[in-house]
Amino acid sequence: MKAAVAVLVVLALCSLVLSKKADLKVDVEYRPEHCDIKTKNGDEIEVHYVGKLEDGKEFDNSFSRGQPIKLILGKGHVIKGWEEGLVGMCITEKRVLTIPPELGYGARGYPPVIPENAVLIFETVLVTINGKGVGLKTDNIVQ
């Protein structure tokens, strides 16, 4: 009887570990006082970003190119961490997304830029939603 209970406890713990979903961390660093429109799946958005690894090494930066990325939320155009972390944003809102490997590039990474099982940190600023924005330019967005 004790052995059966012990086996059930071990199975329950294994189930908890296996079912634990990777947690996306979203830190809102700035949100405008007035927000009439928030992002949702299906919206075409433009986002400026800086991508870094946990050690602080920068691997991509749309600010330095002077061009935000344009994508449609919910269509799989970007990694899952972005798909989830950019929903509900206001124009000019700034978020820092800390993305676990399971919601990023996973065990394969994106050689040679992103190593396998890398946690990714993205500083993001929403520029437009469905063509509506405030005409932000790279030089007036605080990085």
**Could you say which of 105, 114, 121, 129 is catalytic?**
105
3 vs 17: CA distance, rounded Å: 21
**Could you say which of 43, 45, 79, 114 is catalytic?**
79
**Could you say which of 49, 114, 121, 129 is catalytic?**
49
SS3 at position 68: coil
Catalytic annotation on 122?
yes
Catalytic annotation on 43?
no
68 vs 73: CA distance, rounded Å: 15
Phi, psi of 82 (to 5 degrees): -75, -45
Catalytic annotation on 63?
no
Catalytic annotation on 114?
no
97 vs 47: CA distance, rounded Å: 13
Catalytic annotation on 91?
no
**Could you say which of 43, 99, 114, 122 is catalytic?**
122
Q: Which of 40, 72, 53, 67 is nearest to 112 (CA)?
A: 53
**Could you say which of 37, 60, 63, 69 is catalytic?**
60
**Could you say which of 59, 63, 110, 141 is catalytic?**
59
Catalytic annotation on 59?
yes
- The catalytic residue positions are 49, 59-60, 79, 105, 122
